[in-house]
Amino acid sequence: MSTPLASRAEILGLSLERLTETLAPFVDRPFRARQVFAQLHHRGASSFEEMSDVAAEIRLRLAEHFTVSRPELVECRASDDGTAKYLLRLADGASIETVDIPDGERRTLCISSQAGCGLACAFCVTGHWGAGRSLTAAEIVGQVHEVRRLAALPPGLNLVFMGMGEPLLNLDALHDAIELLSETISPRRITVSTAGVVPGIEALGRWSRRPNLAVSLHAPDDERRTRLMPINRTWPIDSLLAALRRYPLEPRRRITIEYLLLDGFNDARPDADALAHRLDGLRVKVNLIPFNPDPVLPAWMGRPAPARVEAFRDRLESAGFTATVRRQRGDDVAAACGQLRAFARAPRGGAARRRFEAFRPTPR
């Protein structure tokens, strides 16, 4: 007797070891689990029916008890610059957004780890809608597999956990998903970006295979960083940078410091000097992100003029740091950094909205 569809166990998020244990009562030989695993993670099968090298009777038996689910495509919005944003619906109706960013032969997939975000960073549209829930490992992997299929992405893909949510608040699922995605994508092509969850950074440092680490700093002092990022009250800059100094780095690898530039708030040359002083002695590179406006974000927030961005970068380079400026990609379809949304949910209430607006800075 087959299991009802809603009760069938999801197997996409299982390691080979766990998959072997799970499938053991339903297959005739242990190597069948390896066949299923290869079909899922090397060939991108989305159903048992597609697993042509697995015996037909075993495929039918597995389909009666297990499922391989992927998110449903709701909408794809294409930018004039070639960027594409995918709105995906999960099985329980929660939604996420994923962005495919082409750059010549290079392709980068910006993926989500949560359906929403509870950190309430003042410059982030996702935070305007508030917390949703964490994705399972299967949902993270399914997100990547589905967009790879839809966009016909090449094998040499780069993954950045810079979409919706704080990855290090979903650490177990993140670990399992990266282990599975590393079957076809080198960990050196995978970057996890965090707002500064210190215990998560320390846990990441203990992984045997570590992705690249990016950390959002966005201000050189606690007063301004707290106004932008409430998480700074829990882990202020000194404790965050101390965790980065302890973080194990292989030769020739560096941590990326992400720094949002807001006109008149944190983009002056003295701010660049203060940032360089903070980062002194750390093996880092700095990625400068000129602010991407959005109608739901506070009206005072503005994008600095290009000359101001270049002057900030030059100041960091003169202090001996590698500094790059992130290109604005997909902003015409709200796919740029900080613009991803949660759908089918009301935004934060009036009190939170007023708090967002209250971050208006004193001119510097």
What is the rounded distance in angstroms from the CA atom of residue 225 to the CA atom of residue 231? 9
Neighbours of 156 (CB within 10 A): 11
Among this protein's residues, is 337 annotated catalytic?
yes
Measured between alpha carbons, how far is residue 196 from residues 212, 229, 234, 236, 308 in Å? 14, 10, 9, 9, 26
For 266, the token pair is: 């944190």
CB 255 within 8 A of CB 283: yes
What is the rounded distance in angstroms from the CA atom of residue 103 to the CA atom of residue 106? 5
What is the rounded distance in angstroms from the CA atom of residue 213 to the CA atom of residue 295? 30
**Which of the following is catalytic: 97, 139, 146, 166?**
97
**Which of the following is catalytic: 110, 117, 121, 337?**
337
What is the rounded distance in angstroms from the CA atom of residue 135 to the CA atom of residue 282? 32
| Residue-wise DSSP of 128-188 | HH---EEPPHHHHHHHHHHHHHHHT--SSEEEEE-SSS-GGGSHHHHHHHHHHHTTTS-GG
* Catalytically annotated residues: 97, 337
